[in-house]
Structure 1
Amino acid sequence: MPFAVTFPDGYGYVVFVALGLTPLLAWVQGSVVGPLRKAAGVPYPNMYATPQQVKESRDAYKFNCAQRAHGNLLENMPQTMLYMLFAGLEYPKATFAVGTAWLICRAIFAYGYITSEKPDGKGRLYGSGYLLMQGALWGMCGALALKML
């Protein structure tokens, strides 16, 4: 039996951010990891350079930072994409804005993690606003869920 689904005006922007730009960011970050792996001399299937390699090579350190930034994005993507898709059903403009800010923060997080000269990968903290954006998306989901009760 056919049925119709209606989406609010502007929901396409939410889908574009959640299912278009978010996977694109993951692909870009993954593309950065490959060449850094080669420069660091870390063979597959090893996920990271060893502590000894990191002590001996700045390239190994950068590879570990890039790998971790990419891994952290992959860990946060699924729920954030779902938050966007659900929250956007009621709050499409706010979801688009917050989702876009989340993406920008994630890009800054990765860039700072990989390129910063700060010790212990602390350059990533420049983009830590992504946590606030995720919280806002989660809050919009909660508000919509309560509305639906």
Structure 2
Amino acid sequence: MDVPDDYGWVIFIEILIAFQLTLFTYVFVSPSRLKTFTPRFMKENFTEEFIEAFHREPDFQGYPDTGSGRFSKKLPLKDWYDFNNAQRIQWNYLEGAHAPLVCIPIAGLEFPYWTIGLGAAYIIGRTVYSIGYKMSGSRGRGIGAAILDISLLGLLIVAFVSCFYMVYD
């Protein structure tokens, strides 16, 4: 089987999804981590407990909690809620990234234009989903979820048909 002339665009869409996943970690989650688990918050709430447990002064660097652990229990509800919404944006993307990343190169072998369009729709849907979730919590994800789910279903169908063509060609 020959690779279609426009297959480079198919791979470009695939790379854009991988880039978007990485970028959203820095846009949505990292700022939330820095705002939520500040060194001041950690020192004020956990220095004594840390010294008692480890017999040394804490450094409180890095990423101590995923939003549902020991450190987050002392967060004000709004900070905890905002942080967990940012975490959900990242985790939801991670949980679902395998499907388009597997389907796109397969679907693009037989149907490059459909694949490019559906992949672009997935990127747009994921962006709308993430912004909506960040702004309004889970109730803000509806439109984005619909766009990305429909585009993902389309990618799955096109990948399946592409496999069928390859087997019976």
| TM-score category of the 2 structures, normalised to the smaller one | 0.7 to 0.9
Contact kept, 8 Å, 1:41 with 1:60, in 2: the verdict is no
- Structure-1 separation of matches of 2:162 and 2:129: 29
TM-score of the pair, normalised by structure 2: 0.74
Bigger-Rg structure (1/2) = 2
SS of corresponding position for 1:126: helix
| Runs of 4+ with >6 A deviation | none
Q: Partner residue of 2:34?
A: 38
Of all paired residues, the percent bearing the same amino acid is 28
The runs of 5 or more residues in structure 1 that have no matched partner are none
Amino acid at match of 2:92: N
Q: Is the 8 A contact 1:48 1:64 kept in 2?
A: yes
Q: Secondary structure at the match of 2:114?
A: helix
Q: Does 1:78 align with 2:98?
A: yes
TM-score, normalised by the number of residues in structure 1? 0.84
Q: 1:22 corresponds to which residue? A: 17
Task: Give the CA deviation at 1:78.
Answer: 1.6
For residue 110 of structure 2, give the secondary structure of its aligned residue in structure 1: coil
Alignment counterpart, residue 140 of structure 2, candidates 112, 115, 123: 123
| Count, aligned residues | 140
One-letter code aligned to 2:31: P
Letter paired with 1:67: Q
Q: Distance in 2 between matches of 1:44 and 1:24?
A: 22
Gaps of at least 5 residues in structure 2 are: 39-61
Residue of structure 1 equivalent to 2:49: none
Provide, for residues 15-36 of structure 1, a one-character-per-residue CA deviation record: whole Å limited to 9, x for no partner: 0011x21111111211021110
**What is the match of residue 95 of structure 1?**
115
Distance 2:10 2:157 in 1: 16
